[in-house]
Amino acid sequence: MIAPFEFVPTRAAGLARLDAFVPFAGRAYAEGRNSDPGPDAPGSVSRLSPYVRHRLISEGEVVSAVLARHSAAAAEKFVQEVLWRTYWKGWLEMRPAIWRRYCEERDTQRTRVPASLLASAEAGNTGIEGFDDWARELVATGYLHNHARMWFASIWIFTLRLPWALGADFFMRHLIDGDPASNTLSWRWVAGLQTQGKTYLATADNIARYTAGRFSPQGLARTAVPLSEPPAPAPAPIADLPAVDLAAPTLLLLTPEDLGPESLLPPNPAIKAVAVLAQTAGGASAQAFVSGAAADAAKRATAHYDCPASVITHIDAANLDASAAAAGVAQIVTPYAPVGSIADALAGLPVHQIRRRWDTQFWPHARKGFFAFKSEIPRLLASGLR
């Protein structure tokens, strides 16, 4: 069982957490992963998601460490859990209109829902056992067990009848592992939009079983009628990125999408300075983690590239140009930002993006459902991706 711990926003803490979890990534994880004993109790999940989400540690590092200790069969459930995050990113990357649809619905619905109802749900004042506890836990800690996220989303949509996009926004503002693809598409799946006609219905019996009797909420919806929307667009091919001359003097821009400067670039790039974005649209817990992780990334980048690194709080053409001029460089390079708010912020700015091999290899296989994607996992892992 994995002891509860604080989310220390450093790569070293992520690696220590990974090392502590690896022995439990096989049978113990598979048998206990659906149980949520509470935020202060030992559990079977890794709680590595904040570190992977911001790439303080990479998906490849996590999977490699686990498979060095367990057989592929024994670790199948955990490896698939890591790859679900990759799958969601690839799926949304090929359908960016779904992200725009979410943003538009979020902004529209916020003007239509009575503010008191929304505030009651977000503050955990609905009177629904479990749901209220999870709302307060999320705001206080920036984290929820994955099963609790599903129960919460189902109650939000089908019992409280609140718009799914506002629930997804509530999660994105508070989760320290909040990911535009995983969060948006998971909420859509609960609502019956992602896999058309397939919803997730939270029940008192299921909640009681997997919370060891801590919660057994009454009055939950007995049915989950799928929401509807226009069909999702057909997947568009993921475009190749232009080649970047890393022998030219370069400013490296890191964002909360990828705070792993050590493994991003090939050997000996001409990095003259590093800027690390520490801004997020999230609440206190999410912002605190991103700020700490950005400071940690800046220290690591300075050590790795032997150059100055600074933390910045926003990005626009003017401050990027000023940073490049101060560093005496002609180009700015940044890790590729998948569909989401960081990609929106980077759109049109004078930066060259570099996509990691992991994403390049896995994302194109997210054209259909996860089970088709899953069939490609053994072959792609065998190629030694990082």
| pLDDT tens figures, 65-87 | 999 999 999 999 999 999 999 99
Burial of 189 (0-12, 13-18, 19+ CB in 10 A): middle
CATH number for the domain whose boundaries are 250-354: 3.40.50.620
Cα separation of 190 and 164, whole Å?
9
pLDDT of 45: 96
CATH class of the structural domain 103-210: mainly alpha
pLDDT at 222: 97
The answer to whether 278 and 290 are in contact (CB under 8 A) is yes
Give per-residue pLDDT as tens, 193-239: 999 889 999 999 999 999 999 999 999 999 999 999 999 899 999 99
Domain range list for the chain: 11-91+364-382, 103-210, 250-354
Q: Look at residue 1 and tell me whether its pLDDT is greater than 90.
A: no
Cα gap 354→333, rounded to integer Å: 7
Amino acid at 81: E
Separation CA 165–CA 102 (nearest Å) = 6
Residues in Cβ contact with 366 at an 8 Å cutoff, skipping those fewer than 6 apart: 86, 87, 88, 89, 90, 91, 93, 94, 235, 373
Mean pLDDT for 142-163 is 98
**8 A C-beta contact, residue 294 and residue 277:** yes
Question: pTM of the prediction?
Answer: 0.96
- Domain 11-91+364-382 annotated CATH 3.30.110.30: no
Q: What is the pLDDT of residue 281?
A: 78
- CB 160 within 8 Å of CB 134: no
Structure tokens that stand for 385 in this block: 């991706």
Q: How much of the chain, in percent, has pLDDT values that exceed 90? A: 90
Q: In whole angstroms, what is the distance from residue 92 CA to residue 6 CA?
A: 31
Instruction: Convert the pLDDT of each residue in 321-371 to its tens digit.
Output: 888 888 899 899 999 999 999 999 999 999 999 999 999 999 999 999 999
Note the pLDDT of residue 386.
55
- Please check the confidence at residue 384 and state whether its pLDDT lies above 80: no
Is pLDDT at 2 greater than 50 in this prediction?
no
Judge whether 377 and 83 are in contact, CB under 8 Å: yes
Q: Say if residue 141's pLDDT is above 70.
A: yes
How would residue 283 be classed by pLDDT, with cut points 50, 70 and 90?
confident
Residue 6 has pLDDT above 90, yes or no: no
Average pLDDT, the chain: 95
Burial 301-328 (b: 16+ CB within 10 A, else e): bbebbebebebbeebeeeebeebbeebe
Task: Return the pLDDT at 385.
Answer: 60
Alpha-carbon distance 132 to 123, whole Å?
7
Helix (H, G, I), strand (E, B) or coil at 215: coil
Percent of the chain with pLDDT over 70: 98
pLDDT digits (tens, 9 = 90+) for 29-77: 999 999 999 998 889 999 999 999 999 999 999 999 999 999 999 999 9
Split at pLDDT 50, 70, 90, the class of 192 is: very high
Burial class (CB in 10 A: 0-12, 13-18, 19+), 218: exposed
